[in-house]
Structure 1
Amino acid sequence: MEVQVGVVDAEGGHQGSGNKALNFSDISSPYGLFSFASSMGQLFQLHTWNSTVESESDELGSKNKGTTTTIILCSVLGSAGATVATAVVVLYCYFNSKYRGWKKELDQLAKSMQRLPGVPTQFSFSDIQRATNNFHEATKLGRGGFGTVYKCSLPARKKGEVLEVAVKKFSRDDNRRYEDFLAEVSVINRLRHKNIIPLIGWSYNKGEPLLIYEYMPNGSLDQHLFRRSGGKEHQQPTLINQLGTRYNMVKDIATGLHYVHHEYEPIVLHRDIKTSNIMVDSTFQGRIGDFGLACVVAKGKNSYTDIEPRGTPGFMSPEYIISGKATSKSDVFAFGVLILEIITGKLAVDAQFRHITDWVWHLHKEGRLLNAVDSHLTTEEFDPDDAKRLLLLGLACSHPNPSDRPNMVEAVQIITKSAAPPDVPLEKPRFVWEQEEGHLLSSDYNTELSSLNRSLTSGIEMTSGGLDSSENGGNSLHHRPTAGPSHELFSIYHTAE
């Protein structure tokens, strides 16, 4: 028997062919099965089939005449079976490989967790899936850059008890969410402080890692300050409208930052201090959360350098935007902006892309600093001295130059009234940045965010030395947008009165 196979293109021409002669002289049965199979490990698809059977004798022809149709049918079915079998093998290998990868990641995670202090509890993914109704939209608390947070109740270690928890499900692509998970858990599990949200446990399922935090029943601070939907302000409608409540909130945040900057070793930089990352517990105390961008400063160092600045526009300090070096002073800058948001009730950046520090500094220059206070706070218990103390501290912490900002030790002393309010200049100072070579770069620092809504990475043209005046204030730093995927850098170096 001679078999010839050809590959046919759309026009009907042969692209290639092969043939094989088979000897059936040693086979006594007149019946056989002919099928196709691929030896290259690929799926083989048979689109057309033509078969011609020629008899070598009348006797052979009479025997095979009734079986020709059967041979053709069996051949087609055989080739289809081979295709299915190959597909099953390929899919099995694929999913088996995936499963082995997931199993390896889970084993690595378990070992990593065992080495962490306190050993976070591993929760069953099936329990979490059931408690969140398969991560239903109704259980969602919020979404950030690294994942989505869901609320649910999980069984506690003590039988019969349940825990109210917030589950953070990392949702970036496969290659990065595992790294995001390890980065956050390696930082947050180190920290033990009353003003930092505690980590309870973790879970993992098919490439999806999860972190379980203590649930904060009063949501995030921005929901109270800015009356966003989903907030819990209706439960305690007057608390956030009391200056004492906001003053204590500032103290809580300052105490938490003091801990990570000065009490814990090595230093931890949060890098994303803002109202949406401040959670409010059942007693209305502030707790710092979301350490997704946090980093640990190596021993003997005082900064952490990233490829590009990462954070929230409006809360990123000017020197961090230029150099990419995060320090404790860049956290202090964000803390200063946060204080101004809390006391004024206004967003760091308004709809016209104006920055809150420019507005408050302008009022300070005119001697009307208390006009910046949120009108909801001017109740009978309002203490103008406390309000002024916090506004001055907010300006001092958000000073354009890092060397002129207080550290968190000094900030806590000012808040607790063991130190006098800071002496803040009436004019907003120039931003002066000293390069490693010692050249001074200066600008009339202004946080006007004219390019915030563009998808650009900002480049900075710098000239060294002079503080020469010009019509617009003598800028020697100019915003120059260049192509790039980020919109986190913005034009803060343009003078505008």
Structure 2
Amino acid sequence: MGQLFQLDTFNSTVERLSGNLKIIPHKKKWTTTIILSSVLGSAAATVLTAAVAYCYFNSKYRGWKKELDQLAKSMQLLPGVPIQFKFNDIRRATKNFHETTKLGRGGFGAVYRCRLHGPKRGEALEVAVKKFTRDDNRRYEDFLAEVSVINRLRHKNIVPLVGWSYNQGGPLLIYEYMPNSSLDQHLFGRSGGKQQQPSQINRWDTRYNMVKDIATGLHYVHHEYEPMVLHRDIKANNIMIDSAFQGRLGDFGLACVVAEGKKSYTDIGAPGTLGFRSPEYIQSGKATTKSDIFAFGVLILEIITGEVAVDAVRPHLTDWVWHLHMEGRLLDAIDPLLTTEFQASDAKRLLLLGLACSNPNPSDRPTMVEAVQIITKSAPPPHVPLEKPRFVWPPEGLSLNSDYSTELSGLGSSLTVGIEMTAGHGSSENGGNSLQHRPITPMAGPSQELFSIYHTAE
């Protein structure tokens, strides 16, 4: 309308000018033709733009609709079909995903807290909504991978899945809300931690029970549920704490199901968290129950010491605790913030278990069955050598069909050097740790993460 008004004004002006100047008729007709052409051209351009926009958004909508239909079919095939929540309800409950409702952010997306209407009339659910925000090529895949694993699991020490939703290419998972947040916020006082019960985590029985809760949940996915599930990202901020202050395994974004008849899962790049990935997992890319147990051992040491696994001013946590063990001062590793009395034998039991589980060599680590027996005191504490064992790769007598064998084609390595990482046998210049190499068949070389964790410079 603005264009038409301007053109009409321009036309009137031209007519007035033409009257004053006595413009000959054929020029007036020429001017009118130009004006009409401009108007018709603008209208045509507007119609064309609207048509293109309509086709684009219609195509986009049809794509989203198709994706939603496919997703709904996939969800219906899952046992115990999760509840499908309406996206508009979630958007209203989270105030359009406002920052004030955000609980945190992970590698796959952000998590928001809200209250939704349950399937039963009058039922209200406190939930945590995980919104997948990675690029379009992966978030749909990440969503299906996580829901296909977590929907199978039913255990008191695993955060339960409540339902799912979808909106214009963005899938969402809805979990039961854990009112006491994650373990790391209580242990390390991270920003955003609620810290409503500062004395609760500083009680010895709370920390002992937390170790037992995590072990019980991990035992379930390793030995009780079929097919076997590997978590692959055991760490403090993936342990959620419920209203009774019990620990629950959460964030199964990296979890994988091990195929029947197999004992490992191979992935390019060995995804996980710095300081919690076992050395053989880094080298081979093969995740096993023993790589989960390694991370569990590091987590035990974090819980008992109150120290983070990787710190800029000291060695890796396992090296530090092992050094105290070698000097006969193992109990000096206990967190000084603990406010309740405890028996030294119980503290030593868990510290030794943490060291045994984080042994550099997978064959020397206990299973989750043995770990649970040690925690429940139905088995004695593990024997742990005073000096940290060498990490030997590949293991002696390695067979081609071993769970820890390396798939050379997948790793793309042409190195001809293996590695033994020696702890406690080096010179004082490197803090008692050294790296030794020996010629072997072609195999992957040591990564920077392995060097930084197991070769400590003081």
Q: Shared topology, TM-score over 0.5?
A: yes
Task: Give the drift of 1:127.
Answer: 0.6
**1:121 maps to amino acid:** I
Name the residue aligned to 2:441.
none
- Please state whether the residue corresponding to 1:491 is helix, strand or coil: helix
Task: Give the drift of 1:67.
Answer: 2.0
8 Å Cα contact 1:460-1:479 kept in structure 2: no
Q: Are 1:111 and 2:73 matched, yes or no?
A: yes
Name the residue aligned to 1:318.
279
Task: Give the drift of 1:384.
Answer: 1.2
Sort the Cα spacing of 1:418 and 1:175 in 2 relative to 1 into closer, same or farther, 3 A: same
**2:186 maps to amino acid:** H
Is the deviation greater in 129-138 or in 348-357?
348-357
- Please state whether the residue corresponding to 1:476 is helix, strand or coil: strand
**Candidates 221, 229, 236, aligned match of 1:268:** 229
8 Å Cα contact 2:114-2:126 kept in structure 1: yes
Sort the Cα spacing of 1:480 and 1:491 in 2 relative to 1 into closer, same or farther, 3 A: same
Task: Give the drift of 1:233.
Answer: 2.4
8 Å Cα contact 1:461-1:480 kept in structure 2: no
Sort the Cα spacing of 1:156 and 1:301 in 2 relative to 1 into closer, same or farther, 3 A: same
Name the residue aligned to 1:298.
259
Name the residue aligned to 1:136.
98
Q: How does 1:90-239 map onto structure 2 within 5 Å?
A: 90-234=52-196, 236-239=197-200
Name the residue aligned to 1:329.
290
Per chain length, whose mean CA-contact separation is higher, i.e. which structure has more relative contact order (CA < 8 Å, sep 6+)?
Answer: 2
**2:185 maps to amino acid:** Q
- Please state whether the residue corresponding to 2:174 is helix, strand or coil: strand
Distance in 1, matches of 2:272 and 2:126, equals 29
Sort the Cα spacing of 1:121 and 1:365 in 2 relative to 1 into closer, same or farther, 3 A: same
Distance in 2, matches of 1:465 and 1:80, equals 73
Q: Percent identity?
A: 72
- Please state whether the residue corresponding to 2:158 is helix, strand or coil: coil
Distance in 1, matches of 2:99 and 2:332, equals 41
- Please state whether the residue corresponding to 1:148 is helix, strand or coil: strand
Name the residue aligned to 1:387.
347
Distance in 1, matches of 2:301 and 2:414, equals 27
- Please state whether the residue corresponding to 2:453 is helix, strand or coil: coil
Q: Are 1:286 and 2:247 matched, yes or no?
A: yes
- Please state whether the residue corresponding to 1:210 is helix, strand or coil: strand
- Please state whether the residue corresponding to 1:351 is helix, strand or coil: coil
Q: Are 1:408 and 2:368 matched, yes or no?
A: yes
Sort the Cα spacing of 1:367 and 1:267 in 2 relative to 1 into closer, same or farther, 3 A: same
Task: Give the drift of 1:190.
Answer: 0.6
- TM-score w.r.t. the length of structure 1 is 0.78
8 Å Cα contact 2:419-2:446 kept in structure 1: no
Calculate the aligned-residue CA RMSD, in Å: 2.6
CA deviations on 1:134-161 (whole Å, 9 max, x unpaired) are 0000000000000000000001122222
Sort the Cα spacing of 1:357 and 1:461 in 2 relative to 1 into closer, same or farther, 3 A: farther
Distance in 1, matches of 2:290 and 2:414, equals 21
Sort the Cα spacing of 1:134 and 1:319 in 2 relative to 1 into closer, same or farther, 3 A: same
Q: Are 1:367 and 2:328 matched, yes or no?
A: yes
Number of residue pairs matched by the alignment:
413
8 Å Cα contact 1:243-1:383 kept in structure 2: no
- Please state whether the residue corresponding to 2:201 is helix, strand or coil: helix
Task: Give the drift of 1:291.
Answer: 0.2
**Candidates 337, 344, 350, aligned match of 1:376:** 337
Sort the Cα spacing of 1:465 and 1:197 in 2 relative to 1 into closer, same or farther, 3 A: closer
Which structure 1 residue ranges, 5 or more long, are not aligned? 1-60, 441-456, 482-487
Distance in 2, matches of 1:305 and 1:353, equals 32
Name the residue aligned to 2:378.
418
8 Å Cα contact 1:313-1:490 kept in structure 2: no
8 Å Cα contact 2:290-2:365 kept in structure 1: yes
Name the residue aligned to 1:463.
417
8 Å Cα contact 1:242-1:382 kept in structure 2: no
Distance in 2, matches of 1:347 and 1:460, equals 35
Name the residue aligned to 2:18.
none
Name the residue aligned to 2:38.
76
**2:309 maps to amino acid:** A
Name the residue aligned to 2:5.
none
8 Å Cα contact 2:315-2:456 kept in structure 1: no
**1:347 maps to amino acid:** V
8 Å Cα contact 1:479-1:491 kept in structure 2: no
8 Å Cα contact 1:475-1:495 kept in structure 2: no
Structure with bigger helix share is: 2
Q: Are 1:250 and 2:211 matched, yes or no?
A: yes
- Please state whether the residue corresponding to 1:422 is helix, strand or coil: coil
8 Å Cα contact 2:393-2:420 kept in structure 1: no
Sort the Cα spacing of 1:353 and 1:314 in 2 relative to 1 into closer, same or farther, 3 A: farther
Task: Give the drift of 1:84.
Answer: 1.9
Name the residue aligned to 1:340.
301
- Please state whether the residue corresponding to 1:350 is helix, strand or coil: coil
Sort the Cα spacing of 1:352 and 1:427 in 2 relative to 1 into closer, same or farther, 3 A: same
- TM-score w.r.t. the length of structure 2 is 0.85
Sort the Cα spacing of 1:333 and 1:159 in 2 relative to 1 into closer, same or farther, 3 A: same
- Please state whether the residue corresponding to 2:337 is helix, strand or coil: helix
8 Å Cα contact 2:294-2:357 kept in structure 1: yes
Name the residue aligned to 2:13.
none
Distance in 2, matches of 1:353 and 1:104, equals 53
- Please state whether the residue corresponding to 2:72 is helix, strand or coil: helix
